[in-house]
C-alpha cells in the first residue's frame, strides 16, 4: 500500500462548492493527469494560496512547470519522506521513547567518561614535531610517563630576587620541592612515598647553580660587609659563574637580568656579534614595552633593587659581588625519568600536588610562584572545558524564550494558538542536547577520547540544528491552515499532515544536514587531531540530530496534531450544534449554516493578524522598491566591493600562531606563566635539545671532528649564544683528560698566594674555556669522568649500551637569544634553521640526529595553517556545490551560492583579522563549522529567484525579488536572531576558544543574511537588467536587419500590424469576438507557436483545456507580486483578475454568426502570426 492510500479518500464536494471551483482546481486535475502518477506524489491535491509572510511551497514550484516533474532523485527523496511521515504518525510515542532511552544511555556514558587532553593533538597529523617528540621519548626509553615540573618564581612587588630575604625564601621553596612534596610509590607499599631527591636519577643537579650561587653570594656579602676583599675563586658573574674553579651556567635558571657595568657584562667580547652583547640586549628587554610580552603591572613592576654587595660597599673601594644589578625571575626545574610501577595517575597526582603546594597552600608575602607541567596544562584545559557547561544553561534558556515567543507570535498571527505548541517550541531546544549526548556517548563507547574542546558541541548543535525545528513548525502551521480552510476526511488524518510536513521540509533539512556534514568532514580531514575530533563530534551530532528530527520531533508533532485535530472536531461539532439550534429557533439560515459546516471551520482573523498583515506587506514592498532601484543597487554593489577589498586586505595581514594561553580561561595562572616565558625567558635564552642516536666511535679523530663541526654549525646560527650557551659533554671530557692533579694544585696555590685581581683578559679566558679543546677522546675513560662529583650532571646527557658498555647515544643543548623571538613567526624561522642543520647529520649511517623544542608543536602550524585552511574551504565548497546541484538542479544556483560562500569566508577571516584575532586551529575549526550553514540563505535566494524567472518571461525583477523574500526573509531572520542569541551566551565564558567561536559564528550569520538579503538581490537586479537590455538590443538589431533585407529583395505583400505578429497585435484584431472565443483563439495560437518554434501555448481537447503556459499558470499559484499584494480575498481564498483582462480588450458579439466569423478571423490571424514568428526563429 502506498503512502497516499493510507489516508481515507476525500468526500465528493457539495453542488454549491462544485459550482464555485475556480479554474485553478480544473487546471490542477488536468495537469496531474497529463503529468502522470508522479505528480500526484508532490504536494497537496488541493493547491494552497501562497503567503506574503511565508511564501510558497517548494513542491508547488516543481509542479508549476508543465511536463517537468523534477529530478528523479528529488522525487525519490520526497516520496521517501512522505511515506516516513505516515510511519512515524502510526508509531509516534514508540519513536519518542526509543529516542529518549538512547539519548539517556549516551548521557550516562558521557558523565562516566573522564576528560583527557593531549597538547600534542593540536599539531597537524603529519607535523614534524610529532616525529621529533616520539624520538625524544625514544631517547629516554620511557615505557611510561616521566615527571617534568617547572616552578617560576617572581617577587610580588616586581623587584629583584637578589635581595637577601627574597633569595633566602627562594632557596626555601627549592628545599620544599626537593624534600617535602611526596610521590606515592606502589613498590614501597600502601604508605610508601618518596620525595624528588630520593627518586631522581639523572637530572638531580639541574638546580645546583641556584644553590651554589646562593652560598657564594652569602659568603662574598659577608666579606664585603666586613670590608674584606672578595674571594677570587668565587666568580658570580652572569652567564657563567665559577665556584672554586667549577663552571656553572646561570642562563637556564636566572632571567630578567640587568647589569651594573655594560663594559664588563660577562667577559664576552662585545665585538663578537655572534656571541651577543648581554648588557645592551637585556637592558633593552627589561625596559621594553613590547605588547606581545606585556607583564602584569600589578605583579611585575619596575622596582629596581641593588645587590647587598653594593649596599655594603664603603670607602673608595666599591665592590660588586656579581655583575647583575637585578634578577627578576628564577625558574626551578624538576625532571625525573619513568620508573617501574609508575602509572599516569601517579605522575599526574605528583605534579598536581606540586602545583597545589606552592600556588594554593604556600603563603608568602614576598614571592609569587607558578607551576607548569603537562598535568597542570591538562587540568587547566579540563577546567576550561567545564567552564562552558554552566553557560550552556543560559544559552538554552535564551533559546527557549526566543523559540516560545516566536512560535506563539506566529501561531497568534495564523489564529492557531494552543498550549501544546509550547511543547514543540521547548522540544526544539532540547533536541540538540539529546543528539549531542547520544553522539558523544557512543563515540566514547567506541574508544574516542573525551577532549575538553568537545564541550562546545552541544551549544554549536543547538545554534545550528534548531533551525530545522523552526522550519517544521513553520510548515506545520501552514498545513493546519490549509486543512481548516478545506477540511475533508483525508487532511483530518494526522498521518496525512505529518507526511505533508516531512515531504516539504525533509529535503531542505537534508540539504542543510549534508552541507554541515561535508563541512565537518573536510575539517576532520584537514585539521589537527584535537580539532578534527571537534569536527567529527559535530558531524556525528548533526547526523543524530537529523534522525531525531525525523523521529522524536515528528512523533511529538504527531501527538500535538492528534490533540489539535480532536479540538477541531469538537469545535466543528459545537458549531454544527449551534447552527442546528439557531435553525430550529429561527427557521432561517439553513442553507448558509450547512454551507459553513461543509466548508469547514471558518475562523475570524485575529486582530493581531488584521493589524500586522498590512505592515508586513507594506514593509516587503517598500524594501523591494528600494533595493530594486538601479541607483541603490549600484551603491550596494559598490559597497560590496569595498567590503571585499577590506576583507582581502585583512586576510593578507592575518598572523598565524597558537600559544597555550589560548586554551585556558582568562583567570588561569598559566596565562601568567606564558607572559613570564615570553617576557623573560624566550628572548634571552631559548634552548633547543639535539639528540644524537648514533655517535659512533668518537675515538676516531675524523668522527670526533665531524661531531664537533655539528655542534659548531648549531652555534653558528644567527642569534646563538655560542659555546657559552651550549652544554656539550665532549668539551668537559677532553678537558678532564688533559688535566692532572699537579697542574690543579699549582693553580690553587697561585690563587691562594693572593692573585685575586682579575683583568679583562682573565675574564675572557674564563669565558672561552667552553671552546672544544684539542686532544684525544678515550671512550674507556668516560666512566671515570662520570664518577667525579663535578661531572655528575652529565649523567642525564649520556646513555650507554647495557651489553657492551660503549657510548650508545647522547644529547646536547644550545641556547639562542633575540627580541624578535617574542614573535611566533620568528621562532618558526629559527626552528627551520635548526632542522636544516640537523638534517645534514640525520642519516642513520651518520649521527642519526634529531631535535626537540617544546613549542615546535605550535610552530609547525605556521606553515601548515594557511594551506589547511584553504584546503578545508575548497573541499567544503566543492562538496556543497555537488549537494546543491543534486537537489536544486540549477547551475545558476550553484554558481551564485558558491560565490557567496567564498565571499563570506573571505569576510570572516578579514574581519577577524581587523578584530586582532589570529589564525589558529581554533579559528580554522570555527570557520569550517560555520561554512556548513553559510550556504543556506544564498542558495535559497538564488534558487527562488531562478524559479521565479522560470515561471514567466514577462516577470519584472521586482516581482522575482518578492518571490524570493516571501519565502526566505522571515525564516532567515528568525534563524539569525536565535543563533546569535544562543552563541552569545559563550561571551560570559572567559575563554579564547569560546570568544573565537562567538565571533566567527555571529559574523557568519550576519554575513549570510547580508549576502542573501542585500548583496545578492542587488546583483540579481543589475544582472537581470543588463540581460534584458542586451536581449532587447539583440532583438532590435536582428529585427532591423531582417526588415532591411526583406525590403531590398521584395515588397512585403501584407505587413503585420505593430509588433510583427505579436500576441497583443493579434488580439487587437479580434475586436468583435466574445471573451471565450478570444481566449480559445489565443491558446490555439500559442500551441501553434510551440509546435512551430518552441512557443508557449495550449489547446482544447473534447471541450476541455489541456496544457497551460507557465506565464498563465503563475496567476494561480505563483507567489504574490507587487501588483497583487492587496488583491487577495481572505474569506474566499481566491485572487482577483489581473488589471488588464481580455474583457477590456474585446467587444462582445451579438449573434452566433458573428462569433463564428470571429473564430475564423482569429484562426487566420493566429496562423499569420505563427508563420511570421516561425520565420523569425528560423532566421
150 burial level (CB within 10 Å; 0-12, 13-18, 19+)? middle
1069 has a pLDDT exceeding 70? no
Q: Encode pLDDT of 172-184 as tens digits.
A: 999 999 998 988 8
482-486, 723-727, 971-975, 991-995: which has the minimum mean pLDDT? Answer: 971-975
- Please report, for the chain, the start and end positions of each structural domain, with discontinuous segments joined by +: 82-142+391-603, 147-336, 605-656+865-1022, 687-846, 1063-1178
- pLDDT reported for residue 610: 60
pLDDT tens across 896-905, in order? Answer: 888 888 898 8
Q: How many CB atoms lie within 10 A of CB 845?
A: 7
- Categorize the per-residue pLDDT at 883 as very low, low, confident or very high, splitting at 50, 70 and 90: confident
Taking Cα atoms as reference points, which of 1007, 932, 929 lies closest to residue 972? 1007
Q: How far apart are CA 152 and CA 997, in angstroms?
A: 32
Architecture of domain 82-142+391-603: Up-down Bundle (1.20)
Highest mean pLDDT among 72-81, 384-393, 689-698, 1162-1171: 689-698
| pLDDT, averaged across the chain | 73
Q: Indicate the fold that domain 605-656+865-1022 takes in CATH.
A: Multidrug efflux transporter AcrB transmembrane fold (1.20.1640)
Grid look-up 532523485 returns: 73
- Residue 67: predicted pLDDT: 42
pLDDT tens digits along 578-608: 888 887 776 544 554 554 444 444 455 555 5
Express each pLDDT in 957-1008 by its tens digit.
Answer: 777 777 777 767 777 777 788 778 888 888 888 888 888 888 888 898 889 8
The whole-number pLDDT of residue 1058 equals: 44
- Mean pLDDT computed over 282-304: 38
Residue 509 above 60 pLDDT?
yes
Alpha-carbon gap, residue 480 to 48, rounded angstroms: 11
pLDDT tens-digit series, residues 91-135? 999 999 999 999 999 999 999 998 888 877 777 777 888 889 889
More confident residue, 655 or 1081: 655
Report pLDDT digits (tens) over 1028-1043: 788 888 888 887 777 6
Predicted pLDDT at 1072: 41
The pLDDT > 70 percentage for the chain reads 69
- Please count the CA atoms within 13 angstroms of the CA of 723 that sit on its side-chain side: 21
Q: What's residue 917's pLDDT?
A: 85
SS3 assignment, position 994? helix
Q: Which pLDDT score is estimated for 603?
A: 52
Cα separation of 651 and 869, whole Å? 12
CA 817, CA 682: separation in Å to the nearest integer? Answer: 7
| pLDDT reported for residue 1048 | 61
CA R_g for the chain? 42
pTM: 0.68
Domains 82-142+391-603 and 605-656+865-1022 share a fold: yes
Q: Average pLDDT, stretch 1062-1090?
A: 47
Q: Does the structure show a pLDDT above 70 at 844?
A: yes
The C-alpha atoms of residue 488 and residue 486 are separated, in whole angstroms, by 7
- At 983 the three-state DSSP class reads helix
Query: Contact at 8 Å (CB) between 454 and 440?
Result: yes
Of the listed ranges 147-151, 213-217, 665-669, 885-889, the one predicted with least confidence: 885-889
Of 324-328, 665-669, 842-846, 924-928, where does mean pLDDT reach its minimum?
A: 924-928
Which of 310-319, 416-425, 434-443, 1083-1092 ranks highest by mean pLDDT? 434-443
Buried b (16+ CB within 10 A) or exposed e, 1026-1038: eeeeeeeeeeeee
Amino acid at each position: 500500500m502506498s503512502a497516499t492510500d493510507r489516508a481515507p479518500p476525500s468526500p465528493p464536494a457539495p453542488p454549491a462548492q462544485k459550482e464555485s471551483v475556480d479554474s485553478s482546481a480544473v487546471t490542477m486535475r488536468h495537469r496531474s493527469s497529463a503529468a502522470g502518477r508522479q505528480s500526484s506524489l508532490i504536494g497537496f491535491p488541493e493547491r494552497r494560496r501562497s503567503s506574503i509572510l511565508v511564501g510558497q511551497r517548494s513542491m508547488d514550484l516543481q509542479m508549476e512547470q508543465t511536463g517537468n516533474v523534477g529530478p528523479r532523485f528529488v522525487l525519490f527523496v520526497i516520496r521517501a519522506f512522505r511515506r516516513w511521515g505516515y510511519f512515524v504518525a502510526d508509531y509516534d510515542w514508540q519513536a519518542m521513547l526509543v529516542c529518549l532511552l538512547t539519548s539517556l544511555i549516551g548521557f550516562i556514558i558521557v558523565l562516566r567518561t573522564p576528560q583527557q587532553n593531549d597538547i600534542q593533538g593540536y599539531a597537524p597529523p603529519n607535523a614534524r614535531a610529532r616525529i621529533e617528540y616520539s624520538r625524544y621519548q625514544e631517547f629516554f626509553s620511557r615505557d611510561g610517563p616521566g615527571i617534568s615540573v617547572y616552578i617560576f618564581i617572581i617577587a610580588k612587588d616586581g623587584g629583584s630576587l637578589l635581595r637577601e630575604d627574597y633569595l633566602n625564601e627562594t632557596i626555601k621553596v627549592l628545599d620544599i620541592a626537593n624534600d617535602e612534596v611526596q610521590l606515592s610509590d606502589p613498590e614501597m607499599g600502601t604508605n610508601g612515598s618518596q620525595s624528588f631527591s630520593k627518586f631522581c636519577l639523572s637530572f638531580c643537579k639541574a638546580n645546583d647553580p641556584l644553590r651554589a650561587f646562593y652560598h657564594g653570594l652569602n659568603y662574598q656579602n659577608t666579606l664585603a660587609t666586613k670590608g674584606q676583599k672578595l674571594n677570587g675563586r668565587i666568580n658570580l658573574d652572569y652567564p657563567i659563574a665559577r665556584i672554586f674553579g667549577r663552571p656553572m651556567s646561570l642562563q637556564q635558571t636566572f632571567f630578567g637580568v640587568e647589569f651594573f657595568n655594560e663594559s664588563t657584562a660577562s667577559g664576552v667580547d662585545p665585538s663578537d656579534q655572534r656571541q651577543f652583547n648581554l648588557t645592551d640586549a637585556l637592558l633593552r628587554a627589561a625596559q621594553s614595552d613590547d605588547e606581545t610580552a606585556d607583564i602584569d603591572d600589578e605583579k611585575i613592576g619596575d622596582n629596581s633593587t641593588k645587590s647587598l654587595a653594593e649596599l655594603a660597599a664603603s670607602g673608595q673601594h666599591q665592590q660588586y659581588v656579581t655583575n647583575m644589578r637585578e634578577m627578576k625571575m628564577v625558574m626551578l626545574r624538576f625532571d625525573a625519568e619513568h620508573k617501574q610501577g609508575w602509572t599516569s595517575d601517579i605522575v599526574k597526582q605528583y605534579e598536581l600536588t606540586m602545583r597545589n603546594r606552592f600556588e594554593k597552600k604556600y603563603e608568602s608575602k614576598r614571592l609569587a610562584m607558578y607551576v607548569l607541567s603537562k598535568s597542570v596544562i591538562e587540568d587547566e584545559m579540563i577546567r576550561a572545558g567545564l567552564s562552558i557547561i554552566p553557560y550552556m544553561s543560559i544559552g538554552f534558556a535564551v533559546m527557549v524564550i526566543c523559540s516560545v515567543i516566536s512560535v506563539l507570535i506566529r501561531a497568534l498571527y495564523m489564529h492557531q494558538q494552543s498550549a501544546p505548541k509550547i511543547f514543540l517550541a521547548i522540544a526544539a531546544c532540547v533536541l540538540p542536547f539529546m543528539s549531542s549526548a547520544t553522539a558523544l556517548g557512543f563515540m566514547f563507547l567506541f574508544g574516542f577520547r573525551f577532549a575538553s574542546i568537545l564541550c562546545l558541541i552541544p551549544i554549536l548543535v543547538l545554534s545550528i540544528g534548531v533551525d530545522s525545528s523552526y522550519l517544521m513548525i513553520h510548515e506545520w502551521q501552514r498545513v493546519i491552515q490549509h486543512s481548516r480552510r478545506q477540511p475533508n476526511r483525508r487532511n483530518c488524518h494526522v498521518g496525512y499532515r505529518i507526511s505533508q510536513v516531512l515531504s516539504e521540509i525533509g529535503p531542505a533539512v537534508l540539504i542543510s544536514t549534508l552541507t554541515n556534514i561535508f563541512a565537518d568532514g573536510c575539517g576532520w580531514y584537514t585539521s589537527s587531531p584535537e580539532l578534527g575530533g571537534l569536527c567529527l563530534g559535530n558531524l556525528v551530532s548533526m547526523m543524530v540530530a537529523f534522525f531525531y528530527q525525523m523521529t522524536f520531533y515528528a512523533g511529538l508533532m504527531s501527538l500535538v496534531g492528534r490533540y489539535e485535530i480532536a479540538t477541531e472536531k469538537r469545535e466543528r461539532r459545537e458549531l454544527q450544534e449551534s447552527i442546528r439550534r439557531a435553525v430550529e429557533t429561527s427557521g432561517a439560515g439553513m442553507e448558509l449554516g450547512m454551507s459553513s459546516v461543509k466548508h469547514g471551520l471558518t475562523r475570524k482573523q485575529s486582530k493581531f493578524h488584521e493589524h500586522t498583515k498590512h505592515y508586513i506587506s507594506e514593509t516587503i514592498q517598500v524594501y523591494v522598491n528600494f533595493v530594486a532601484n538601479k541607483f541603490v543597487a549600484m551603491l550596494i554593489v559598490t559597497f560590496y566591493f569595498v567590503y571585499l577589498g577590506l576583507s582581502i586586505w585583512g586576510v593578507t595581514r592575518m598572523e598565524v600562531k597558537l600559544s597555550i594561553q589560548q586554551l585556558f580561561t582568562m583567570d588561569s595562572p598559566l596565562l601568567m606563566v606564558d607572559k613570564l616565558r615570553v617576557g623573560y625567558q624566550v628572548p634571552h635564552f631559548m634552548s633547543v635539545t639535539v639528540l644524537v642516536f648514533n655517535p659512533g666511535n668518537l675515538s676516531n679523530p675524523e668522527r670526533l671532528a665531524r661531531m664537533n663541526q655539528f655542534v659548531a654549525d648549531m652555534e653558528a646560527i644567527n642569534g646563538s649564544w655560542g659555546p657559552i650557551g651550549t652544554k656539550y659533554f665532549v668539551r668537559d671530557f677532553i678537558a678532564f683528560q688533559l688535566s692532572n692533579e699537579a697542574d690543579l694544585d699549582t693553580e690553587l696555590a697561585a690563587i691562594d698566594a693572593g692573585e685575586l685581581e682579575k683583568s679583562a683578559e682573565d675574564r675572557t679566558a674564563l669565558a672561552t674555556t667552553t671552546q672544544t679543546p684539542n686532544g684525544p677522546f678515550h671512550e674507556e675513560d668516560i666512566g671515570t669522568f662520570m664518577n667525579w662529583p663535578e661531572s655528575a650532571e652529565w649523567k642525564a646527557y649520556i646513555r650507554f649500551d647495557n651489553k657492551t658498555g660503549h657510548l650508545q647515544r647522547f644529547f646536547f643543548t644550545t641556547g639562542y637569544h633575540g627580541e624578535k623571538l617574542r614573535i611566533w613567526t620568528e621562532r618558526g624561522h629559527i626552528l627551520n634553521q635548526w632542522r636544516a642543520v640537523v638534517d645534514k647529520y640525520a642519516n642513520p649511517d651518520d649521527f642519526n640526529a634529531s631535535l626537540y623544542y617544546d613549542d615546535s608543536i605550535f610552530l609547525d602550524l605556521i606553515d601548515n595553517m594557511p594551506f589547511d585552511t584553504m584546503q578545508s574551504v575548497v573541499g567544503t565548497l566543492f562538496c556543497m556545490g555537488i549537494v546543491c546541484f543534486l537537489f536544486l538542479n540549477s547551475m545558476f544556483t550553484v554558481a551564485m551560492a558558491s560565490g557567496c560562500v567564498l565571499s563570506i569566508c573571505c569576510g570572516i577571516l578579514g574581519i577577524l583579522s581587523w578584530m586582532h584575532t589570529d589564525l589558529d586551529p581554533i579559528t580554522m575549526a570555527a570557520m569550517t563549522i560555520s561554512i556548513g550553514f553559510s550556504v543556506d540563505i544564498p542558495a535559497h535566494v538564488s534558487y527562488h529567484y531562478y524559479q521565479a524567472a522560470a515561471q514567466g518571461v514577462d516577470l519584472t525583477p521586482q516581482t522575482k525579488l518578492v518571490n524570493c523574500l516571501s519565502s526566505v526573509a522571515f525564516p532567515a531572520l528568525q534563524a539569525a536572531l536565535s543563533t546569535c542569541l544562543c552563541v552569545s551566551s559563550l561571551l560570559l565564558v572567559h575563554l579564547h576558544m569560546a570568544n573565537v567561536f562567538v565571533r566567527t559564528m555571529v559574523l557568519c550569520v550576519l554575513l549570510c543574511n547580508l549576502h542573501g538579503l542585500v548583496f545578492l538581490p542587488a546583483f540579481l537586479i543589475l544582472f537581470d537588467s543588463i540581460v534584458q537590455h542586451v536581449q532587447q538590443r539583440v532583438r532590435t538589431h536582428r529585427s532591423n536587419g531582417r526588415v532591411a533585407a526583406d525590403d531590398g529583395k521584395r515588397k512585403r505583400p501584407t505587413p503585420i500590424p505593430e509588433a510583427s505578429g505579436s500576441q497583443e497585435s493579434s488580439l487587437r484584431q479580434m475586436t468583435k469576438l466574445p471573451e471565450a472565443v478570444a481566449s480559445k483563439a489565443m491558446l490555439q495560437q500559442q500551441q501553434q507557436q510551440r509546435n512551430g518554434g518552441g512557443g508557449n501555448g495550449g489547446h482544447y481537447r473534447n471541450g476541455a483545456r489541456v496544457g497551460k503556459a507557465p506565464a498563465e499558470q503563475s496567476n494561480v499559484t505563483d507567489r504574490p507580486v507587487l501588483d497583487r499584494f492587496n488583491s487577495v480575498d481572505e474569506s474566499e481564498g481566491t485572487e482577483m483578475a489581473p488589471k488588464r483582462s481580455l474583457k477590456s480588450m474585446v467587444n462582445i458579439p451579438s449573434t452566433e454568426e458573428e462569433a463564428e466569423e470571429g473564430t475564423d478571423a482569429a484562426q487566420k490571424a493566429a496562423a499569420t502570426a505563427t508563420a511570421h514568428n516561425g520565420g523569425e526563429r528560423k532566421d
